[in-house]
Amino acid sequence: MNDEQINGAIITFFSTSSAVGKTLISINMASELARQGYSVCLADFDLQFGDVKNYLHLQAEHSITTLCDIIKTNGQHPLTPLLATYSYGHVSFQVVPAPAKLEEAYNLEPETIIEVVRRLRRQYDYIIVDTTSMFSVLNLALLDISTIVTFLGIVDFIPTIKNMKIGNDTLRTLNYDANKIRLVLNRSDAKTRINLQDVVRILGENFYHILPNDFESARQSIATGVPLVLSDHDSALARELRNLVGRYTNKGYMEDTPTKSSSWLTKIFN
């Protein structure tokens, strides 16, 4: 991690239906960026039903609740020692877990959570944010401060597509930079009677990136706690996840772990 103040990119995963892959993909994005040598913090802001700890088989002493308490009491206590660490081989990144108890979520104020993100981005190249599927006050504030919003969708049932259309249209009304919102299709070749071209026509926009359906690899990853991009088990899904990261960093897929990056992001995103 860098000691100097940097201004890390915030990449948020958002959708308008649940179970589209926000958590799985945000974990893999954090893992791949960390594998490439970036300092990464993954924040689980699915405050009531967060899955990051479960998917990573992570034990954690603290959660976003502790970080918010520190901000609220105006503490100058550094936040980073309170984060959980995920490690696999030589790859590691920090995690802000969701609250341990569902009811804690009611006491967390969006402004305080945003302040946590602001403070953390000064210390990491990337903050990866996992969210819930709703236009809540917290999610809108997270979308605002994000550098990139990955708006994830799947093509399964009509209601999912209707919600994707409403979500995409709503995101466009927020007048963000055109590059900020990236429409990503997950589970692309899952069995469905719905034609992808029809969906593209309804949305009025092509997908920025497409991830294949691979139930077995996804299941195995969650069962073992090893993100797909770090696993020895090669799969088309892992490859496309790496390619997605490559497109976000504008570097393509990097085979070898480079030396620790300097904060080139600062120059681009300041």
Ligand X SMILES: Nc1ncnc2c1ncn2[C@@H]1O[C@H](COP(=O)(O)OP(=O)(O)OP(=O)(O)O)[C@@H](O)[C@H]1O
* Nearest distance, CB of residue 133 and Mg ion, angstroms: 8
Residue 20's binding partner among Mg ion, ligand X, none (Cβ under 5 to 8 angstroms by kind) is: ligand X
Binding site for Mg ion (CB under 5 A): 22-23, 51
Residues of span 202-241 touching ligand X by CB under 6 A:
211, 213-215, 218-219, 222, 237
* Nearest distance, CB of residue 22 and ligand X, angstroms: 4
Residue 186's binding partner among Mg ion, ligand X, none (Cβ under 5 to 8 angstroms by kind) is: ligand X
* Nearest distance, CB of residue 187 and ligand X, angstroms: 5
* Nearest distance, CB of residue 126 and Mg ion, angstroms: 19
**Pair type for strands 126-130 and 40-44:** parallel
44 part of the interface to ligand X, by CB under 6 A: no
CB distance 68 to 128 below 8 Å: no
* Nearest distance, CB of residue 268 and ligand X, angstroms: 28
Query: DSSP states of the chain as a string?
Result: --SS----EEEEEE-SSSSSSHHHHHHHHHHHHHHTT--EEEEE--TTT--HHHHHT---S--HHHHHHHHHTT----SGGGSEEEEETTEEEEEEPPPSSGGGGGG--HHHHHHHHHHHHTT-SEEEEE--SS--HHHHHHHHH-SEEEEEE--SSHHHHHHHHHHHHHHHHTT--TTTEEEEE-STTSS-SS-HHHHHHHHTS--SEE----HHHHHHHHHHT--GGGSSS--HHHHHHHHHHHHHHTS----S--SPPP-HHHHHH-
Q: Supply 213's token pair.
A: 């359906």
Residues of span 157-186 touching ligand X by CB under 6 A:
186
Residue 240's binding partner among ligand X, Mg ion, none (Cβ under 5 to 8 angstroms by kind) is: none
Nearest residue to Mg ion on Cβ basis = 23
Q: Cβ of 169: how many Cβ atoms within 10 Å?
A: 12
* Nearest distance, CB of residue 129 and ligand X, angstroms: 12
Residues of span 57-116 touching ligand X by CB under 6 A:
none
Our CB check for Mg ion shows the closer of 97 and 249 to be 97
Q: Choose the binding region for ligand X from 19-27, 88-96, 136-144, 261-269 (rule: CB under 6 A).
A: 19-27
192 part of the interface to ligand X, by CB under 6 A: no
With tokens 């990144």, the residue in question is 93
As a whole number of angstroms, the distance between CA 87 and CA 118 comes to 24
Q: Choose the binding region for ligand X from 3-11, 16-24, 167-175, 259-267 (rule: CB under 6 A).
A: 16-24
23 part of the interface to ligand X, by CB under 6 A: yes
* Nearest distance, CB of residue 233 and ligand X, angstroms: 14
Applying CB under 6 A, the residues found at the interface with ligand X are 15, 18-24, 46, 51, 133, 186-187, 211, 213-215, 218-219, 222, 237
